[in-house]
Structure 1
Amino acid sequence: MNKRLTIPISGIAILLFAFFAWGVTQHATWISDIDRTGIAWIRGDFTPGKTAFLTGITLLAQPATGVTLTALFVVWAVITKRLRMGAFVGFSVVAGAGLMWIIKNIVQRPRPTANRLIAEHGYSFPSGHSINAMAFYGALLVLIWLYARKQWVKRVATIVLVAVIILIPISRVYLGVHYPSDVLAGLLLGLATMLTAATIILPKKA
């Protein structure tokens, strides 16, 4: 990984995340504006097809899904002797989950209560699904760009994985279990965690 890119980007992501966390704890007006606008845009039109689709999308970052996919990837990495890859993905996901748990219990933001479409428990900020989306699927995208040899593989992977990373946070707001500021902050924290793992573990470039 090019540390000239990963370190500044992860630093900016951490600063932006901290700004969101401060805004949430201080009940800032701009946080309310983001949430109100985002909810109006994402939850403006409920349809059975959209609900079924986004309910399926949200399952891609469920804790059980994340644990299973990460474990399978790490096992594959060990068997194929790609230990750096396994360590990178494992560290990214585990660190993201640990930070999520700590911050959720510090901030203790209640979840939205209006018109929930699925049951969910625990605190709202930051979105664990959004962290998982970036920490796992984002890590896969980094590995594909580093190691895939064929350009079409990189292009297809980018389209699919970026779509998943975007749709998972949208699904959490649509289903009524997170505010838009929760999922934006989650993406930022997941990005910072994933890039920090890449900087530490993956082969370095000047």
Structure 2
Amino acid sequence: MSTQTEHAGQDTGLEPRSAPAAAGILLVSWAVILGVVVGFGWLITHSFQSAVDPWDNDVSRWFADQRTGSLDPLGDGGTLLGETVVGVGVAVLAAIAFSLWQRSWRPALFYALAEAGIGGFYFVATHVDTRQRPPVKILDPGLVPDHSFPSGHVATAVVAYGGIFVLTWVYARAARKVAGLVLMLPALVLLARLYQGAHHLTDVLTSVVYASVWLLVVARLVLLPGRDREGSSAGS
């Protein structure tokens, strides 16, 4: 009985028996999501390009028309929140904090897999589905001209800040409503990328969808099994 209690308090990761199955599901899920992202990107840059580009470009021009000196710092700030170094830094700090609090490797493993997954999505999609940036002045200099699809900044923000919400949802139910405020940060990054002319609307929305789905898949396979085990141990 004491051994059972000790293991419930010090979870070190996936169950040995479940790890291979979970890894297989993760790999298949990643491949499926990647296929959908690349397939959608191919459609909007080939078959449906003539239908998508006109209104996509109109949206970009509308955001460019809203630029003012007072809004420019918000655009810079939103972009900063989605930078890889910032997003990964937030993820590392949150992973350490939740792992130490729960005495478990699961939060760290959750973030590691989530970050690795979106990095792979972005690398493959930007090289397979090359797309020119919107036809407006881009306020974020130095961007690769044909890497508009998808938005790495938005995906990074969804995983970094959305990950905090997911971990809070799983481990701190009393703080769920407050943690929901952190979801405003990915939205700010999305608007900033549109404002700065770095991406089309379809680029940023694609990133929201695939990053959110991947985050939930990883959470389901990495975080929830541990909670189920703890619940059954407590009940016994």
Pick the TM interval, shorter chain: 0.7 to 0.9
Alignment CA distance shift 1:77-1:143 (3 Å): closer
The answer to whether the 8 Å contact 2:99/2:107 transfers is: no
Task: Tell me which residue corresponds to 2:158.
Answer: 134
TM-score (norm 1): 0.81
Picking from 88, 91, 110, the partner of 2:113 is 91
Task: Tell me which residue corresponds to 1:101.
Answer: 123
Task: Tell me which residue corresponds to 2:57.
Answer: 36
Alignment CA distance shift 1:167-1:13 (3 Å): farther
Measured on the aligned residues, the alpha-carbon RMSD in Å equals: 2.7
Distance in 2 between residues matched to 1:17 and 1:188, nearest whole Å: 9
**CA apart distance, 1:14:** 7.1
The answer to whether the 8 Å contact 1:130/1:169 transfers is: yes
Picking from 189, 194, 197, the partner of 1:173 is 194
State how 1:151-162 maps to structure 2 within 5 Å.
Answer: 153-158=175-180, 160-162=181-183
Distance in 2 between residues matched to 1:52 and 1:58, nearest whole Å: 10
Picking from 16, 24, 44, the partner of 1:24 is 44
Distance in 2 between residues matched to 1:101 and 1:78, nearest whole Å: 29
Is structure 2 residue 219 aligned with structure 1 residue 198?
Answer: yes
Distance in 2 between residues matched to 1:180 and 1:16, nearest whole Å: 18
Deviation per CA, 1:88-146: give whole Å up to 9, x if none: 12211121012111111111222235211121323111100111121221121111112
Deviation per CA, 1:28-57: give whole Å up to 9, x if none: 244224413432443331111211012111
Alignment-mate amino acid for residue 167 of structure 1: L
The answer to whether the 8 Å contact 1:54/1:171 transfers is: yes
Task: Tell me which residue corresponds to 1:5.
Answer: none
Distance in 2 between residues matched to 1:25 and 1:94, nearest whole Å: 26
SS at match of 2:137: coil
> Among the aligned pairs, what percent are the same residue?
25
Alignment-mate amino acid for residue 131 of structure 1: A
Corresponding residue pairs, total: 194
Picking from 132, 139, 147, the partner of 2:171 is 147
Alignment CA distance shift 1:203-1:165 (3 Å): same
The answer to whether the 8 Å contact 1:89/1:140 transfers is: no
Moved more, 139-148 or 17-26: 17-26
The answer to whether the 8 Å contact 2:34/2:121 transfers is: no
The answer to whether the 8 Å contact 2:155/2:208 transfers is: yes
Alignment-mate amino acid for residue 62 of structure 1: E
For CA contacts below 8 A with separation 6 or more, give which structure has more relative contact order: 1
The answer to whether the 8 Å contact 2:161/2:182 transfers is: yes
Alignment CA distance shift 1:119-1:73 (3 Å): same
SS at match of 2:198: coil
Unaligned runs of 5+ in 2: 1-29, 229-236
Is structure 2 residue 141 aligned with structure 1 residue 116?
Answer: no
Task: Tell me which residue corresponds to 2:11.
Answer: none
TM-score (norm 2): 0.72
Distance in 2 between residues matched to 1:47 and 1:97, nearest whole Å: 33
